[in-house]
């Protein structure tokens, strides 16, 4: 079995690259209104940056960034954000997932829909990121610790 | 037994290829789903989306509007599928804590 050996060059490069990948992921999520992208793609890129640190720095340092026990709960929180946005619109008098009825004062209906889409995309990105990292951690569970 | 499987796969592939011959060409303006009115005379959905996406949701990216607003239920289902996949990996692969 291949055992983990610390390699300073790989560690250094991935430590430099990882924050930029995260920044790009946030850009993809929040700029999804104007360019190709959105929650699914941004969440995947964010998970890629977290997994890069896990692969290059080993298990313990990866835990500092994103704990294994955080994976499934954060995924559930993402789905809850999506569901909650739709349910909130329903509670304030509209249909389920009809963002026009979100209770924010001072916005016109198209702007409210835009805000609703943004909230939903954040939920999707959070869920995808957390679930991908959680699946990686689950797959790694059987191996002895490095 | 193996030959039966291979034959089944080949039959299914041939069936899929035959079915794909009936699809309209890519970018065909006269295809049914690209017409402004459906064969029954009602308004087509796609032309409505193209015309009104920016006006309805104040968002230039039409794909985002369709994904998250017009087809919000679908995306909620997709996200639930992802969560379910993660939970199943958790339940199958995670080792149980030994009682000690």
- Verify whether the Cβ–Cβ distance B69 to A32 is below 8 Å: no
Total tally of structural domains belonging to chain A: 1
Residues 6+ apart with CB under 8 A from A90: A96, A97, A98, A101
Chain A residue with CA closest to B54: the answer is A110
Residue B5 resides in a domain: no
Residue A49 resides in a domain: yes
Domain of residue A123, residue span? 8-140
What is the band of A145 on the pLDDT scale with cuts at 50, 70, 90? low
Nearest-angstrom CA–CA distance, B45 and B50: 9
Q: What is the pLDDT of residue B5?
A: 94
Q: Which two tokens stand for residue B14?
A: 């041939």
Q: What is the pLDDT of residue B36?
A: 78
Residue B59 resides in a domain: yes
Nearest-angstrom CA–CA distance, A54 and B73: 34
Chain B residue with CA closest to A111: the answer is B58
Residue B14 resides in a domain: no
Q: What is the pLDDT of residue B24?
A: 85
Report the gap between the CA of B51 and the closest CA in chain A (Å).
14
Stretch A136-140: mean pLDDT: 88
Nearest-angstrom CA–CA distance, A97 and B70: 9
Tens-digit pLDDT profile for residues B69-79:
999 999 999 99
Dihedral over Cα of A119, A124, A129, A135: its sign: positive
Residue B67 resides in a domain: yes
Tens-digit pLDDT profile for residues B1-53:
799 999 999 999 999 999 999 888 887 877 877 777 877 877 778 788 888 88
Q: State how far Cα B78 lies from the chain centre.
A: 10
Stretch A108-128: mean pLDDT: 93
Contacts of B89 in chain A (CB under 8 A): 134-135, 138-139
Residue A145 resides in a domain: no
Tell me which of B54, B82, B87 to substitute to probe the interface with A (most A C-beta atoms closer than 10 Å): B82
Residue A1 resides in a domain: no
Residue A109 resides in a domain: yes
Q: CB atoms < 10 A from the CB of B25, how many?
A: 8
Residue A146 resides in a domain: no
Residue A16 resides in a domain: yes
According to DSSP, residue B60 is labeled S
Which among A76, A117, A131 is the nearest to B69, CB-wise? A117
Total tally of structural domains belonging to chain B: 1
- The model carries a pTM of 0.82
Widest CA span in chain A: 61
Residue A32 resides in a domain: yes
Tens-digit pLDDT profile for residues A13-61:
999 999 999 999 999 999 999 999 888 999 999 999 999 998 888 878 8
Residue B15 resides in a domain: no
């Amino acid at each position: 079995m291949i055992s983990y050996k610390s390699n300073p060059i790989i560690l250094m490069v991935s430590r430099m690259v990882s924050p930029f990948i995260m920044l790009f992921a946030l850009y993809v999520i929040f700029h999804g209104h104007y360019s190709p992208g959105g929650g699914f793609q941004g969440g995947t890129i964010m998970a890629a940056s977290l997994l890069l640190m896990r692969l290059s720095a080993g298990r313990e340092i990866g835990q500092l960034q994103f704990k294994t026990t955080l994976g499934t709960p954060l995924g559930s929180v993402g789905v809850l954000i999506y569901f909650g946005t739709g349910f909130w619109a329903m509670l304030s008098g509209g249909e389920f997932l009809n963002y026009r009825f979100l209770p924010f004062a001072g916005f016109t209906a198209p702007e409210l829909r835009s805000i609703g889409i943004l909230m939903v995309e954040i939920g999707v990105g959070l869920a995808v990121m957390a679930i991908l990292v959680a699946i990686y951690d689950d797959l790694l569970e059987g191996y002895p610790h490095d | 037994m193996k030959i039966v499987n291979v034959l089944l796969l080949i039959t299914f592939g041939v069936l899929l290829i035959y079915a794909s011959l009936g699809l309209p060409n890519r970018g065909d303006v006269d295809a049914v789903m690209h017409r402004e009115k459906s064969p029954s005379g009602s308004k087509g959905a796609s032309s409505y989306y193209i015309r009104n996406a920016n006006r309805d949701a104040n968002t230039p990216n039409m794909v985002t509007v369709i994904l998250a607003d017009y087809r919000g239920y679908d995306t909620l289902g997709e996200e639930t599928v992802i969560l379910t996949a993660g939970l199943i990996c958790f339940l199958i692969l995670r080792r149980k804590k030994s009682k000690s």
